Amino acid sequence: MPQELALSSVAVSATETRALEFFFRTTSSCLAGFLDVAFWKRSVLQLSLSEPSIRLALAALGSMHEAEAIATPEEAQIAKQTAVQMYGRALRSTLDKASTDNLATSVIVMASILFTCFEFLHRDSAAAAKHIGSGINIIRAWRDSDRSRNQLWGRNYQSYEAYFIETELAPILTLFNLNALEFGSFPRNRIILSAIDSRGPYLAGQFETLQEARVAFVDLVTASTELFQHLDAGVDSGNVPLIDTMAASEGLREGFSHWKTNFDDLVARRESTWSKEERNAAAVIQISRFGAELGLAAYGISSECDWDNHVEDYEDICQIAEILLSDSTHYPDELSKSLSLDLPLIYPLHAVAWKCRHPRLRRKGLELLLRAPKREWLLDSRQYHTIFSHIMALEEAAIGRPEGDILEEGLVPPEHARIHDFDCVPQLGASRDFSRHAVTFRTRPGGPNAPWQCVTHYIHLSSPVSSGMPPLNLFSCRRWAWPEMTDPQTARMLKSAVFGELLKQEDFQHDL
């Protein structure tokens, strides 16, 4: 059945028809990214033909996304109001479904995913967190009633429902949870997609698909963040669970090593047979890997100059980001860059645009941030571009060059002038928006053990934030690694227990 005919047969108004057509022609490609094409191009369409809640949620998404392309503020506001109305109807329809159909797990979880996407577009972080948590709770309850769960993800499911929930719905929710909530102040509610024991998730002996590799990677990162949260809670309570930490961290280190070997083997075996889309999907996984490795490296940084040792990583990140962002089929226009749900560029480019002080690479990172999708989950790439450009100007001013004068390649800001950290607080402006932010920059001009020196600048950022998430330091170490939370010796001991040989002893020669 042609898509237009299918849509017209279920839509109840011309407004819904228009919104649904916009969704399937434009929004679905934007949300599908490089890795979740089956869900956004096939599954949501199929279920929308029989489920009013899904149809209304898709129409709401289409209308909200279309508002991004409308030139006049008045028309854009009307489109947003229409989207909110359809969203409200979709919520009520889903609640009715949940109260009358005990077997509607797939429908309700899909609705949770669509509602989360709507709130991403709407910039409401708290509402997005609520929908993610609701979807995860439903999957957990369903898993408790399903006794046939597999040890390895993606293989040998007993029913189509189990296959659909575990291979399409659960991975999207888990990725949302990991990327949208990990850097916020919301309650964590995680699930691991594969079976898990005290040493971490089970990994296949050999990856057969990119989806398997991606799920295994997300599982390992999710388990690691859960371990870090557990350590934070222990430090906060004064009871550090060192023995449990050593066992869990050793298993995770082995898991990451196993994953890297498996992924490299998958690329070596299959890359020659992949389409352009599959090669791009592999690149998304690879740039996620670089971001995670730099995130771990932050725990071994004793001075800001230590970041200068990762030049090859910065080069690789820029090369991969350039390939992905230059795909004109995937990004035909600016509207296609409204929201990304699978391309994790802000996190790795965070390191290049800020922590890399080599002039050429740093500016390339800033350029790529400006070309990246405007928003990833709850993070805004334009806001990060503005703040990192400001940091670059502050750091390079210490060399004595005029503003805008590009430095020679070997000339980098000195340690005493480098920005270690920043805080960003939205300020309610005269026009009742939050585009003005108080950004506090922290340096340690007296050395790694000297007191912090802080300066606050008021900066206007694009995409005003009301209930969204202001920019924050994504490479900030967890509280359990702060000597201020315990003492330098305990912080070193914990990091040694967690990272083992990944961080060499000389990495701890200075207290952070």
| Ranges 93-102, 300-309, 352-361: which has the least confidence | 93-102
Q: State pLDDT tens for residues 457-510.
A: 999 987 655 556 788 999 999 988 988 888 888 888 888 888 875 444 444 333
The whole model's pTM is what? Answer: 0.90
If one counts every other C-beta atom within 10 angstroms of the C-beta of residue 388, the result is 23
Whole-angstrom Cα Rg for the chain: 23
| CA distances, 204 to each of 201, 208, 255, 400, 416 (Å) | 10, 9, 11, 55, 47
Q: What percentage of the chain exceeds 90 in pLDDT?
A: 59
Contacts 24+ apart (CB under 8 A), 10-15: 10/48, 10/49, 10/55, 11/55, 11/59, 15/59, 15/63, 15/82, 15/86
Q: How far apart are CA 396 and CA 419, in angstroms?
A: 11
Q: Is residue 444 part of a domain?
A: no
Q: What pLDDT shows up at residue 2?
A: 37
Supply the mean pLDDT for the chain.
87
Q: What pLDDT shows up at residue 433?
A: 72
Higher pLDDT, 352 or 99: 352
Q: How confident is the model at residue 243 (pLDDT cuts 50, 70, 90)?
A: low
Domain extent for 145: 1-178
Q: How confident is the model at residue 63 (pLDDT cuts 50, 70, 90)?
A: very high
- Name the amino acid, one letter, at 107: V
Q: Is residue 155 part of a domain?
A: yes
The number of distinct structural domains making up the chain is 1
| φ and ψ of 380, to 5 deg | -110, 115
Q: How far apart are CA 167 and CA 146, in angstroms?
A: 15
Q: Is residue 448 part of a domain?
A: no
Is the pLDDT assigned to residue 400 strictly greater than 80? no
Q: Is residue 428 part of a domain?
A: no
Q: State pLDDT tens for residues 414-456.
A: 999 999 999 999 887 766 677 889 999 999 998 877 899 999 9
The dihedral through the CA atoms of 123, 127, 130, 131 has a sign that is negative
Q: Is residue 10 part of a domain?
A: yes
Q: How confident is the model at residue 8 (pLDDT cuts 50, 70, 90)?
A: very low
Q: Is residue 27 part of a domain?
A: yes
| CA distances, 186 to each of 96, 111, 118, 233 (Å) | 27, 21, 18, 15
Whether 455 and 397 have beta carbons less than 8 Å apart is answered as: no
Q: Is residue 127 part of a domain?
A: yes
Q: Is residue 57 part of a domain?
A: yes
